[in-house]
Structure formats: structure tokens, C-alpha cells
Chains A and B, each alone.
Chain A
Amino acid sequence: MTQPARSATDEAAVRFSAVSKRFGKTLALNEVSLAVRRGEFMTLLGPSGCGKTTLLNLAAGFFSPEGGEILIDGERVNDLPTYNREIGMMFQNYALFPHMTVEGNVAYGLKARHIAKPEIDRRVAEVLGLVKLAGLEDRKPRQLSGGQQQRVALARALVINPTVLLLDEPFSALDKNLRASMQVELREIQRKLGVTTIFVTHDQSEALSLSDRLAVMSEGRIRQLGTPEEIYRRPLERFVASFVGDANVLRGRLERIEGAHAILALGATQVRVPKGSLRGGAVSAPVDLYVRPEHLEVIETSGPCARSGTIVAQIYQGGYVDLFVECTDSSIERLLVRSAGHQAMTRWPIGTKVGLAISTDEGVAFPIA
């Protein structure tokens, strides 16, 4: 499939600038600005009610913003109705037309554009091949499995060569195995076609694995915009650190700054984090260190440890083991340690007194507000 010719006035395929949207008394979006680059897979991630779906629906034109501008392909679309925007949208429940066949569903957007019949047939066949649905043209949606319905929805959105593909939690209705394979497939197709994509999800692992960049949202604002790695390793806010991935919060004290590092006192040990991972706070003031479970390590109590406690639960996850350690050093806290392989199951049985150490300088420290 070929992408339509573009006006090269804006390097962003979709641009939101200071967009606000209010529903009754609730401010759903508070001056959100975001530029989605051409060909990029951009994820809007956040808990329900954070405004991510509202932002997507504004791009689709289902309603208009109270303030700010939305540009698609460099053109201001605030007042452009949905049907005149070159978008392809995939809905959470797929929204396939139940009274039409697979072919009828996929051809719908082309017919609305008054494209000639032979051309429609050719493009429908091509896109159904792309999503591996050739041969199912005459089925009705209710005769298809969930995964097949999703492919139809994707084909229907892609066949019109949209400037931007909008995906509203498309995987939430699929079971885990199917979801994983559909994710891989969607990403492959998206790369192959180079279509700009905005993807809405509340599932942080999905967001991390699929996106080129992601915008973490809460309460109508974008909290952080970055690559999955930036978001995961260098969260700028407590909210981002705790929403994306699992995090243990360890109360400590900022000891001193030493060159490019900040030294924190944590229990009986000292921990080093890059200065860039220190989000403020004065020397000798208390800080919270956010540590990923895979960066915590269970050790014997004999050595100096950041925390000490008791193993209270083991969860076998296949490739790794999750150990829950209850610490009583200062206040009671339950920490999660993720240990690769299965040895941890036998080495640290439930009830064992253990110490905890921090194995890398990957933590991020936030001052106490």
C-alpha cells in the first residue's frame, strides 16, 4: 500500500497544542501539547479517567476542544468533521458493522470515498492478505473469532491509507496468548506501512513493548513523554515511577553529592545513583528511592544491607521468581524482589530472615514533598 502524498509543512503528523477539554465540571484535558512524528508509534498511557481516550477522540473529531489547536498533517482540524479527516480508527469493541460481511466492512471507507469498484476489490483483497484474512470475505462478524474480528477492524482502518491510525485499547478483549501475538503482528504491519499510530492503553507492559515513544498521562496532563526506556529507567515523577512497571519505595537520606553521583544512606548501606536520577532535595534531607524489583537482591543478613526482613511469599513466574519481603526496619513495608531463574525458590524459602541489597545504580530518588 502506498502512503498518500503529504504536505511537508509540519514534521509532525498529528500535533496537539495546548488542547483543553471539559466535560461538565471535570477538566478532562488541561492544555495538553503533543507532537506525534510521522511513522511513529505513539502510546498514550494512563489510568482510566486520565484523559488519554479524550485526546484520541479529539484527534478523531468526535467532539471539539474548548481550547488549543489540533493539526493533522499540518492542517488545523478543530472544525473539520470526523468524516473529512483522513483517520483510521480501531475501537475497543472493534465496532464492526454486524449487518455487513467482512468484505463489506473493509470496503466501507472506500465506498464512502466513491472509489471505483475494481480498485475497491483490489485494495480490499490486498489488505485482507496483509492481515491474513483472505478467504473469509463473505463471513459476517459474528461468525468470526475475537482475533479475526480484530484483524477485520484493523484492515478496515488501514485500507483507506489514513494519515494517522488511532487505536483505542484494541487488545483489551483478547486473552493473553492471542493478545501477545496480535501485538507483534500489529507492530509488524505498522512498521511495514509506516503509518503514524496513536495507541491508547492503560496496560503499562503493552505500552513499553510496543511504542516508539509514550506519553504517560494522569489527571488531564501529560506527566512524561519519552521512549519506553526513558520512561522506565528515568521517570521524572513519582506517579510515572509507580505507574509504569513495579517499583519499591525505600525511604533514605541524601548523604552527599560526589562528582556525577548522589550518595544516599539507606539502612546500613550507602547507595549511589547518577546525579541525573536525583529529582531534587537538599543534602542530609530525606528522600524516597524508587527501585525496580529486578534491581533488588536478596542477601544473607550477615553483610551490610539496605533493609532486612523476612520472606513472606514466593511467586513462581516461569522465567523468574517474585519474592515478597516484609521489612520492619523503620516502618512495616513489603518489598518485591524479582529474581531470574528458579533457584530463589529453594534458596530463600518462606520465613527465612534475609537482607536486601541494591544491585545497580538504576534507582531514582525523589525528595519528600
Chain B
Amino acid sequence: MFYWKKSIAIELFDNEFLLANLDTGLYYTLKGPAVAFLSNLPFEDFDKELGNFIEKNDTSKDEKLLISNIWLELIEQALIADYPSRPLNTHSFLIDETKIAHHSNLTTYADMKDLLLLDPIHEVDTEGWPKTNETSSAKDGN
């Protein structure tokens, strides 16, 4: 059964999803019919669920392709997981389908990624503190 991974924070703002992977610092916004489709999570069979969604909403082939690609990207990014049993806690969203964008779009925000990949491992002295003091050379501090 597919559902949003537990470690992912999801919020609905103005009929758009904002997804945050709080472990990696990657953020995503999701717009369009894909929002309505993915609000049906959890479900077991992606193809069957998408088929029903397309038929019910009279969605175009292009849009079907967009949703399929977004689905693959969400799996690739480990935002959605496939677990053998139904999760205890699931998300519930109230979406106004008349106000969602016409086309599905997933945007990734990775502004923080470089900062998150800082290498923290340094040579240390006998007390465990770093041998070189870099505090004055680093232009950090937000």
C-alpha cells in the first residue's frame, strides 16, 4: 500500500501541497490535478487509482502523463513509500477542486542542500576538539 512517508511533512496551502523532507532539507510544491489525485493516498494500486481518477474527472492524456511522471519522481525522492499494511495514521485534506491549477507541476527547492552537505569530520586533539580553529575564517552566521 502506497502512502506519504511518515518523515515527510505535508501541508495544504491554497489547494497546493507543500512537502518537506525534514531529514534532507529538500522542499517541494505540488500544484494542479495531481494534488486532488494524491489526496486519495493511501491506496494500493497506482494504475487502477489513476485510471479511476482520469475517468471521473475527464482528465486529458497529457495530464495523465504529467501525474504519472510526478508519481515516479515522488517515489524516486522517497516521499511516497510502499508498505505491506495500511498505516495507522493517514493524512486527510479538504481540497477545493474548482480552485486548483490547470496543470500538474512538482517543483523542488534545494537551496539548503549545499549547507546540509558540510563535512563535519576534522582532525581532533587528545580531548576530542578540532585541531584547527576555523571559526574566524568561516563566513557563516546566516
On whether the two chains bind one another, the answer is: no
